[in-house]
Structure 1
Amino acid sequence: MANNTTTTESHWILPLASIVVVVAALHFAKALLIPLTLAALLSFLLSPVCDWLEQRRLARIPAVLGTALLGFVILGFGAWAATRQVSQLVPMIPEYSRNVEQRLGQLNVNVVSILQRLTRSGPEPDDDRTQPDRVVDGSEPEKQSDSVQVVSALAGSLESYSGMFGTLLEILGTIGIIIVLVIFFMARREDLRDRFIHLMGENNLTLTTRMLEDANTRVRRYISMLFLINATFGIGVGVGLFFIGVPSALLWGIVAATLRFVPYIGPWVAAALPIGLSFAITTGWTIPLLTIGLFVVLELLSNNVMEPLLYGRNTGVSAVAVLVAALFWMWLWGPIGLLLATPLTVCVLVVGKHIPRLSFFETLLGSDPVFEPKTRIYQRLLAGDQAEAEELVKGFLKRQPLLEVYDSVLLPAIVINEKHWQLEELFEDRYRCIMRCFREMIGDCGDRPRPPLANEDANVIAVATDAATGEAAESGVGNDNAPRAAEHVASPLDVVCLPAHTESDELTALMLVQVLTTPETSARSVSIESLAGDLAERIAAEKADVICVCATPPVSVMHARNLCKQIRDQLPHVKLIACLWDTSDALDATTERFGHDAVVVATMAEAQEQIRQLITAPSATTEQPAEIKRDRIARPPADALRDPLVSV
C-alpha cells in the first residue's frame, strides 16, 4: 500500500517539478527566447509568400531575401509612420488638455446642478460656507516660503541621453537578430525540421511528424488569418478616423492593428485611445459619437463576418485558457508576452495533444468538451443539478432527432447509472433521485411534438401497399379485394415493450415506445409491478405482433434471457426482439448465446429497423385468415431476422 502511494506521488511530483524548471528557464532566458520566438512566428507568417515565389521558379535564397525584405520594409514603414504621427501629435497636447478641462468643468457644473435639484438643499450664494476663508483678526494670511533646489542641467541631460542611447542600441540589436534569424529559419526550414525530428528519436517519427504538421497548420493559419483581419481592421480605423476628422488617423490605425494581437483586452484599448482623443479635440459630441460608432461597426464586421469566414474553425484553445495564458505570458515576458500568448498556447496545446504524459495540457487549454454527452448528463444528475441536465437534453434535441439523442445520450447515461448502482457506488436515495429525473426527462421528450412523417416512412407504406396489391393480383383476387389487402398490411403493427427486471429496464421500455410509435405501429409498455404476479398468464394475455424485451446490463441480461424463454413457451409464433442496451461490442457473441429465436439488438435504431422490416415484409398469400397473415408479417425470412442490416 505504501509503495502504491509513493508511486502515485512520484507520478505527480515529476511533471510538476518539470513545469517549475521550464517556467524558471523561460523567465531567466527571456532575453534569448523572445527573439527566437518572434523570429519563428514571423517565419510562419512569411513562409507562404516564400513558397509562392519558389513555385514561380525563383531560387530559394532570392525568394527568402525578397520575402524578408518585403516583410521588414512593411514593418519599418509602419514604425516610421507611427513615430512621425506621434511627433505631430505631441505639440497639440496642451490645446487638447484645455478642451478636456473645459468639458470636465461643464460636466461638473451639470452634475452639481442636477444634484442640487434632486436634494433641494444646496447652499445659498451668500452663505458663509461658499465664501473663501476670511481673515478674522485683520491680519494677512501667512504665506508659505517656496524652496529652490539647483539641479545640474548638464548631468541630467547626459544621464537622459545615455539611457536613451542604450535603449535604442538594445532595440536595434534585437531587431537585427530577429531579421537574421528569420532569414535563416526560412532558408533552412526543412533541415531544421529534420533535426528536430531526429532529436525526438526515430522511434517517435510518426508521432513527431504528426505533431509538427498539426502545430504548423494551426499556428500558420492562425497567424496568417489574424494578421489579415487585424490589418483590415487597422486600415478601416485609419480611413474612418481620417474622414471623421480625428488627428493622427494613421497612428491610430497602426495602434489598432497592433493591439488586436492582444486577445480580448487589445481591441478595447485600441478603441479607448482615439475615442478619448475625439473628446479632447472638440467640445461638441458629433466627432466622439462618430468615432464610437466606427469602432462598433468595425468590431461587428470583424467578429461576425471576417473571423468566421477566414478562420473556418478556431485554434482549439478555450476562451478562459486564452485569458489565463495572456496573464501568464505577460507576467513571464512583459508586453511582448501579450502579443505571443495565443500562438505559444496553441503550441503547448498541440504538444499536450500528441504526447500522452502531457495530455493534461489538452484538458486544461483545449476547447473540446472533456466529457461525452452521456457522461455530462449523468454527472449533472449525480450532482443534483436536474435543471442543467434538462437544458443539455433540450440542446441536443435541437440539433439531433429524438432517436439519436436516446441512443447516444440518455440510454448510455441510464446504463452508467445502473452499473454504478449495481457496483454499490451510489446511495439509495441518490439512485432514486436520479431515476426520478430520468423519468421526468423522458416524459418531457415524449410530450414534444413529433416531426412530420419522413420520406422513408412514406416509402415504407407505399412499398407495403404495392406488395399487397401485387399479391392480390397474382392470386386472382379481384380489384375489390386488393384495397382490403393493402388496408390490412398498412394497419398498425401491435408492439409490446417489456422490462426485464429493473426500473432502468422500465425507463428504456418507455423510451422505446416513444421511438416505435408511428402511424403504422402501435407500441405500448408494461410496468415492472404488472409483471410481478403470474408471468405466464400475463404473457399469454398479450395479443401482440411483436414483443420487445428491454434489458440494461449487467444484471438484467440474464433476466431478459429467462423472460424470452417464458415468452417463447407461451407464444411460439410471436416476433421476439431482445433489446440488450449498450452491448454493441459483443453483439455477435451475445446473439449466439441468447437463443430462443430472438433477434438481439443493442440500440433503439436497430430495434426500429427490425420493426420497419416487419412492416415491409410481404405476406405469402392474401387468401389466408387475418391471424395467419399477421403472423407472416411479424416473421420475415430467417436471414432478415438474424441480420439487422439486411434490407427487404
Structure 2
Amino acid sequence: MKLSLPPQERPNRVYPPGTPGLHGLVSVVTGVVVVCALYFGREVLIPITLSVLLSFLLAPLVQALRRLRMGQLPSIFIAVLFALATLLAVGGLIGAQLVQLAGDLPQYQVAIEQKIETVQEKTVGRADSLMTRAAATLQRVAPTRPPPPRPTGRAARNAPAVPTPVEVHEPSPTPLQLAQRALSPAIAPIETTFIVLVVTIFILLQREDLRDRLISLFGSRDLHRTTTAINDAAGRLSRYFVAQLGVNLGAGGTIAIGLAIIGVPGALLFGVIAALLRFVPYIGIWIAALLAVFLAAAIQPQWTMAVYTLILFIVVDVVAGQIAEPYLYGHRSGLSPLAVVVAAIFWSWLWGPIGLVLSTPLTLCVVTLGRYADRLNFLTVLLGDQPALSPAQNFYQRLLADDPHEAIVQAERLLREMSLIDYYDEVALEGLKLARNDAMRGVLMPEQLSRINDALVDIVENLEVVDGVPDRLSRTEPAESAGSASASASADLSERHDGHTSARLQAHQETDKTSVLCVPGRGAFDEVTTAIAVQLLARHGLASMMATHSGYRSARADEPNFRDAPIICIVSLDAPDSPPYLRNMLRRTREWRPRATVIVAVGDGPSERGAETGATGASHSVPTFRAMIEECRTAASLQYTRQSAHTAGAVIGATGTGAGAGAGAD
C-alpha cells in the first residue's frame, strides 16, 4: 500500500497572492498627483471645500424648513442668512471682548509687572547670575591681553575718516494709503467668506443634480454602491458637524459661565475661543486654556484663580470628550486616534490653519468613501477605527507569533459576546483553515508546526473551564419520569404505547447514553480539531472519545471501545479537498462498521447524504462544529428511539404469547 507524504512534503495546492503590479504603481502616482494638486491649488480648493462642508452643516436646517411647507429657495436663503448672521455675531463679540479686555489691562498692570518680575527672578535672573559668575571665573583664569597701541604721527594722519551717518526718511503716507494698510488684512477673509456663501447657495440649490453628476462620473456602473457611499458620507459628515457644533457650543458656554464665576475678565471671549478652537482635534481647547490660565495668573497676585481656571478646562474637556461625544457619535467616530493626529499634521501642512480645523471631517469623508471604493480601501484600513484583522486572522497571527497567551485573552474577550461553539466555528475553525493553507503551501517548517500545535492544545485546554454566552444547543436535563410507562411490563397495551411515545419525545434527553467515536484525519492540525470536537460533544451531553489516526487504522475498529460506538465522527480539515486517504478511510469504516452512523467533519467532504449505509442511518458531511453536534444528537436520538421500539416490541410479543397460552388453558 502506497503511503502518502507528510504535509510539509506535499506539492503546493494553495498558492500565495500575486505580487503588486502596474495597478499599484498607478495608484502611487495618482496619490502623488492628488497631493500636489491639493497643495498648489489650495487658493481655489479651500473656498470650495469650505462651501461643501458648510452645505453639509446647513442641510439639516434646510430640510427642517422644507418640512414646514417653505419653498426651496426661501429655505436656502434663510439658512445661509442664519449662518452669515452667526459669523458676524461671533466676530463682533470677539472684537468687543478684545477691546474691553485691552481697556481693562492697565488696571492689572501692577499685578502683571509683579508676576513678570517674579518669573524673571526665578528663571532668567538665576540663569543671568550663574552666567555672570561663570564669566568672572573665566576672566580670572584666562590671561589678559594688552590693548592694541593707538596710531600716532603719519599713521594717524593716514587713517580713514569716520563716515558721516545718513538717514533716509520716507514721505508721510496719504490717507488712502493708511486706509489700504488698515483694511488689507480684512479684505482677504471678507472675500473668502463671500465666495464661500455664494458657492454654498448654489450647492444647496443643485444638491440633487450634483449628486447625480457625481454618480454618473464615478459609479454609473454600480449605482447601488455609489449611491450608498455618497449617502453614507453625507450622513456621517452632517451628523458629525451638527453633533460637534452642539458639543463645542455647550463646552464654550460652560467655560464662559465658569470663568465669569471665577472672576476672569473676558470670560465670554475665552468661551467663544474655546468653542472655535475645539474644532482642532486634541490641542485646540488647550490653546484656549493656556491663554486663559496666563491671564488669570497675571491679574492676581496669588495663583488661586489660575488653578481654578485650569481645573475648569480639565473638567469640561473630560466631560465633553468622554461622555457627550461618545453619546452623540457612538463609541466609534470612524477614525482611529492616531489617524486624527496624522490627519491634523497632513492637512495643516497642506492648507495651514484652515486645514488643521478641517482635518477631521475631510479625513472622515475619505475613510467613508474608502469603504466602497476599492482603490481607497487602504485608507480605510490605515485610518479607520475598524479592526485591521478579523478575529480568525488575529487568532492565527498570534499562533504564528508564538503568543498563545494573547490568543487566550482574545478568546475570553470574545466569549463575553458569543457562545463557545460560535467561537470555535467563527474564530478557531477559520484560523485553523488559514494555518492548514499555509501548511499545504509549505511555508510552515516542522518546528513551527509543532509550536503551533502545542499552542493550540494550550488554548483548547484553557477553554475547557470557560463558558461563553448561553447557546440554544445547551444540554437539556432528562425528565424524572422518562420512559416510566414502558418500564412497567404488567400495564395494559395502551399504557405501553403511551410509554413508548413518551420515550420518543424525550429521546434527546437520553443522548448521554450514546457513545461517539471521534477519529482525526492525517492533516497537520486534525488532531487539535478533533480535540475541539470531543470537548464540544462532551459539553452537549454526548459520551465522546478520541482515537488516533494510526491507532484507528491498525485496530481496524475491532477494539471494544471502537466496536461499541454507534456513531463515528471523522474530523479533518482536508474534507473539502476529498483526498484519497480520507475516501479510503470512509470506505473502510463503512466496511468495518456497516450499522454505524458515519459523520465527516468539518467541511464539505466526501459524503453521500441520503445514501443508505446500514439499517441505522447514512453518512453525513458537516461544515461546522455546530452542524456536527446537531447531526450527532439527531443520530443519538434515532439510536435511542430504535432501541426503545425494539424493547417495546419485545415486551409486546412476550405479553401476547403469555395471553394466548392463558386462553388456551382456559
Compute the TM-score of the two structures, normalised by the length of structure 2.
0.78
Among residues 367, 374, 379, which one is paired with 2:392 in the alignment?
Answer: 374
Among residues 542, 564, 572, which one is paired with 1:521 in the alignment?
Answer: 542
Please state if 1:326 is matched with 2:348: no
Other-structure match for 1:430: 448
Other-structure match for 1:537: 558
Structure 1 stretch displaced more, 280-289 or 175-184:
280-289
Q: What displacement does 1:298 show? A: 1.8
Q: What displacement does 1:38 show? A: 0.8
Other-structure match for 1:461: 477
**Deviation per residue, 1:217-267 (Å, 9 max, x gap):** 111111111111111111111111111112111111111111111122223
5+ long unaligned stretches in structure 1: 1-6, 113-122, 137-147, 630-648
1:495·1:524 contact (CA, 8 Å) conserved in 2? yes
2:336·2:384 contact (CA, 8 Å) conserved in 1? yes
Other-structure match for 1:502: 523
Output the CA distance in 1 between the equivalents of 2:401 and 2:610. 38
1:68·1:183 contact (CA, 8 Å) conserved in 2? yes
Please state if 1:388 is matched with 2:406: yes
Q: What displacement does 1:155 show? A: 5.9
Q: What displacement does 1:194 show? A: 2.8
Please state if 1:568 is matched with 2:590: yes
1:99·1:281 contact (CA, 8 Å) conserved in 2? no
- In 2 relative to 1, CA 372–455 (structure 1 residues): closer, same or farther, beyond 3 Å? closer
> Alpha carbon RMSD of aligned pairs, Å?
4.1
Q: What displacement does 1:42 show? A: 0.9
Q: What displacement does 1:99 show? A: 4.6
Q: What displacement does 1:483 show? A: 11
- In 2 relative to 1, CA 223–484 (structure 1 residues): closer, same or farther, beyond 3 Å? closer
Q: What displacement does 1:371 show? A: 2.4
Among residues 264, 268, 271, which one is paired with 1:246 in the alignment?
Answer: 264
What SS does the corresponding residue of 2:539 show, helix, strand or coil?
Answer: coil
Other-structure match for 1:100: 115
Output the CA distance in 1 between the equivalents of 2:510 and 2:408. 40
Output the CA distance in 2 between the equivalents of 1:240 and 1:339. 25
2:511·2:633 contact (CA, 8 Å) conserved in 1? no
Other-structure match for 1:276: 294
Output the CA distance in 1 between the equivalents of 2:388 and 2:365. 19
2:473·2:540 contact (CA, 8 Å) conserved in 1? no
Q: 1:399-418 residue pairs with structure 2 within 5 A?
A: 399-418=417-436
What SS does the corresponding residue of 1:523 show, helix, strand or coil?
Answer: strand
- In 2 relative to 1, CA 519–385 (structure 1 residues): closer, same or farther, beyond 3 Å? closer
- In 2 relative to 1, CA 465–566 (structure 1 residues): closer, same or farther, beyond 3 Å? farther
Output the CA distance in 1 between the equivalents of 2:84 and 2:42. 23
Output the CA distance in 2 between the equivalents of 1:41 and 1:452. 44
1:419·1:553 contact (CA, 8 Å) conserved in 2? no
- In 2 relative to 1, CA 591–104 (structure 1 residues): closer, same or farther, beyond 3 Å? farther
Output the CA distance in 2 between the equivalents of 1:343 and 1:21. 22
Output the CA distance in 2 between the equivalents of 1:490 and 1:536. 22
Q: Give the AA of the match of 2:568.
A: I
- In 2 relative to 1, CA 513–107 (structure 1 residues): closer, same or farther, beyond 3 Å? farther
Q: What displacement does 1:419 show? A: 2.2
Among residues 239, 249, 253, which one is paired with 1:235 in the alignment?
Answer: 253
Structure 1 stretch displaced more, 283-292 or 97-106:
97-106
Structure 1 stretch displaced more, 410-419 or 376-385:
376-385
Q: Give the AA of the match of 1:98.
A: E
5+ long unaligned stretches in structure 2: 1-18, 141-164, 652-666
Q: What displacement does 1:22 show? A: 1.6
Other-structure match for 2:330: 312
Output the CA distance in 2 between the equivalents of 1:252 and 1:384. 54
Output the CA distance in 1 between the equivalents of 2:470 and 2:53. 55
Output the CA distance in 2 between the equivalents of 1:267 and 1:480. 77
1:576·1:599 contact (CA, 8 Å) conserved in 2? yes
Among residues 52, 55, 58, which one is paired with 1:43 in the alignment?
Answer: 55
Q: Give the AA of the match of 1:440.
A: D
- In 2 relative to 1, CA 45–402 (structure 1 residues): closer, same or farther, beyond 3 Å? same
Other-structure match for 2:663: none
Structure 1 stretch displaced more, 470-479 or 378-387:
470-479
- In 2 relative to 1, CA 387–94 (structure 1 residues): closer, same or farther, beyond 3 Å? farther
**Deviation per residue, 1:538-568 (Å, 9 max, x gap):** 4774422432211112677543433333333
1:234·1:254 contact (CA, 8 Å) conserved in 2? yes
1:415·1:553 contact (CA, 8 Å) conserved in 2? no
Q: Give the AA of the match of 1:278.
A: A
Other-structure match for 2:147: none
Please state if 1:476 is matched with 2:495: yes
Q: What displacement does 1:426 show? A: 2.0
- In 2 relative to 1, CA 556–94 (structure 1 residues): closer, same or farther, beyond 3 Å? farther
Please state if 1:441 is matched with 2:453: no
Other-structure match for 2:46: 34
Output the CA distance in 2 between the equivalents of 1:470 and 1:155. 120
Q: What displacement does 1:130 show? A: 12
- In 2 relative to 1, CA 153–97 (structure 1 residues): closer, same or farther, beyond 3 Å? farther
Structure 1 stretch displaced more, 482-491 or 389-398:
482-491
Q: Give the AA of the match of 1:324.
A: V
Output the CA distance in 2 between the equivalents of 1:29 and 1:131. 54
Other-structure match for 2:629: 608
- In 2 relative to 1, CA 613–285 (structure 1 residues): closer, same or farther, beyond 3 Å? farther
Q: Give the AA of the match of 1:23.
A: V
Output the CA distance in 1 between the equivalents of 2:394 and 2:298. 53
Other-structure match for 1:70: 82
Which protein shows a greater Rg?
A: 2
Percent same amino acid among aligned pairs?
29
Output the CA distance in 1 between the equivalents of 2:522 and 2:60. 64
Among residues 4, 13, 17, which one is paired with 2:29 in the alignment?
Answer: 17
Q: What displacement does 1:332 show? A: 0.4
1:495·1:521 contact (CA, 8 Å) conserved in 2? yes
Structure 1 stretch displaced more, 165-174 or 270-279:
270-279
Output the CA distance in 1 between the equivalents of 2:612 and 2:408. 39
Other-structure match for 1:598: 619
Output the CA distance in 1 between the equivalents of 2:287 and 2:313. 11
Compute the TM-score of the two structures, normalised by the length of structure 1.
0.80
Other-structure match for 2:285: 267
Other-structure match for 2:11: none
Other-structure match for 1:119: none
Other-structure match for 2:568: 547
Q: 1:208-223 residue pairs with structure 2 within 5 A?
A: 208-223=226-241
Output the CA distance in 2 between the equivalents of 1:193 and 1:13. 30
What SS does the corresponding residue of 2:544 show, helix, strand or coil?
Answer: strand
Output the CA distance in 2 between the equivalents of 1:378 and 1:272. 48
Q: What displacement does 1:624 show? A: 4.7
Q: What displacement does 1:83 show? A: 1.7
Q: Give the AA of the match of 1:63.
A: S
1:330·1:338 contact (CA, 8 Å) conserved in 2? yes
What SS does the corresponding residue of 1:461 show, helix, strand or coil?
Answer: coil
Q: What displacement does 1:385 show? A: 4.0
Output the CA distance in 2 between the equivalents of 1:495 and 1:153. 105
